[in-house]
Structure 1
Amino acid sequence: MVEATIDVAGLVGHRYRADDYYEVGREKIREYARAVQDFHPVHWNEDAADELGYAGLVAPTTFISIAAMLANRKLFETVITGYDVFVQTDQVFEMYKPVLSGDRLVSDVELAAVRRIAGKDLLTIKNTFTDQTGQVVQIMHTTVVGVTGEDVDAGISDAMERVIMHGIDVPSRTAAASRAGADEQVVTDPVSDTGPRHSPIARTRIPRTVIRFEDITVGDELAPRIAQLTRGDLVNYAGVAGDANPIHWHDGVAALAGLPDVIAHGMLTMGLGAGYVTGWLGDPGALTRYGVRLSNYTVVEAASVGSVEFTGRIKSVDPETRTAVVVIVAKSAGRKIFGLATADVRLA
């Protein structure tokens, strides 16, 4: 059995602030909206965004994962070493303020938890994003499984190095195991001495949804949606989102990772699912929490189109706050790819 090069559990609580802010670009929002097939007008047109009370284009729900990948790179490349591949399993977005074009976001990164289940390490990374006002706009929790060479072909690291884009380090059990310089990035409290100031906007703003609270009851179903994915969609998402993992576009590396074929990014399918809910709402800013547990993957073959079918159901309602919880089901080739997915929404 191959052991990780460091005691990962001993790193719980390791945290740092990203070296630079991430500026949310107008065209980047449009690029990402196209990549996740979200054509709500507020992601594309300033006039449409203004009609719903927004001061700029609104970023899709999962857009902030782009900034998180950049901020987390140091964690995966110099701190959490000892794994050949990381596989995403759970994702939670907590929204406190809509992310708009022109926002400057700073991410505080923390290794929040490590669990060992069935011989595998499950690592949870917490990203706390603050904007130029100093308020928390989103908190993102990402759980991944650290996979070592015993579970994948021994040649996967070499194969990835031959095909991956330049400027990206490949995780390796033999790579920079020492955390030289990493401890220097640790801060006592990455937000402030008194704790983060969560923006109240997402929970106090009057939502402008096309669905009114009086129109829904527990058990109501959302109209289904089928999203289609090609290899071109996967390559485009990889470039737009910065997820360079070749299992999403290279047959050989996918096979070495033990996969039946190239698979869609988990975050891409989550983005499709978020757009499914916000399209039903009519106001993307009315979504306050989105959580997904991935249970399977969407295979996208070279000679055919992959698809994901989304359905939804109202799980619960709260008349006092005019909120509801929506359960989302996503299936591909007859398999459930979301083990559990819920969206907390506010209604007009």
Structure 2
Amino acid sequence: MSISNFAAPIWLGFLAVILLLALAYLLVQRSRHRNMLRFSNMEQLEKVAPNRPTFWRHIPIILVIVGMVFSTIGAAGPTAEQKVPRNRATVVLVMDVSLSMEATDVSPSRLEVAQQAAKDFAEGLTPGINLGLVTYAGTASVLVSPTTDRGSVKAAIDNIRLAERTATGEGIFTALQSIETLASVLGGSETPPPARIVLMSDGKQTVPDFEDFDNPRHEFVAARLAKTKKIPVSTISFGTQWGVVEIPRDDGGTDQVEVPVDDEAMQEIAQLSGGEFYTASSLEELSGVYDTLEEQIGYEVTRGDASRPWWLLGLLATLAGVVVALLLRQRLP
């Protein structure tokens, strides 16, 4: 613990006074020892003081000095990092609901696992955070505007319906708009509450074409906009490289279409926006990612007062010194 971690480090100067007291005690003890040795008749000394002093007689004063040291540290106001639940924050969960979520490479299906993990995430998020839900396929929709009502978010997750195509950029743009709308409604503060987007996707953007990087609705453009608004996008690439879905044909048959995850695009979105990138290919892994995000989003680390333990230690040490002095010498040191 460094000096910078004390609220009132000037009180640490009292440690010098305690050191002087300890030195004074040692000098007094040496003086007593010299005076005792002045007796030239050792036999007479044995009669006067048959029991020689032991080290235990110093224990009371040692305990009192230790108690003074602990109390001085407490008076200096030590601080420590503390996790405090956030009460002013906005999170928008953006979920890919394209047809590729029907893939069963994640048992029983990508969609069912994603729904379960998302509901657990909503349930575990600290109560003071406003949580919203956006889904996207070919277009994006706000299913639940940011709110502290977790029931409405979980109900919306249960009623997700899949659709064709994947417009990841639209999902991010819609989430940003939802966050800005809430900030304007809340008002009353010089700065809007901190916000984050959690984007879960299982495949490559198809609307607009992924290679059309200059398109204003491209996912990378949306990520850069999030960066300028200081709203990081934490991305989760969910699924495996060997996922497939069956697409019905006009003749009544079906075609198997590969739907591999797009880790590179998700990682780029996170990097461009200032967020974090995660991968998951099972319920356990996806739940673990959401647990990590809950810790990051739901709590903030602040420095708070940590003097109470030092005061208690000082009190206990001083009390112990008094008790030991009374037991050993029937008087205070």
TM-score bin (small chain): under 0.3
Structure whose residues are more often helix by fraction: 2
Q: Specify which structure has the bigger relative contact order, considering alpha-carbon pairs within 8 angstroms and separated by 6 or more residues.
A: 2
TM-score under structure 2 length normalisation: 0.20
TM-score under structure 1 length normalisation: 0.19
- Please identify the structure whose Cα radius of gyration is greater: 2
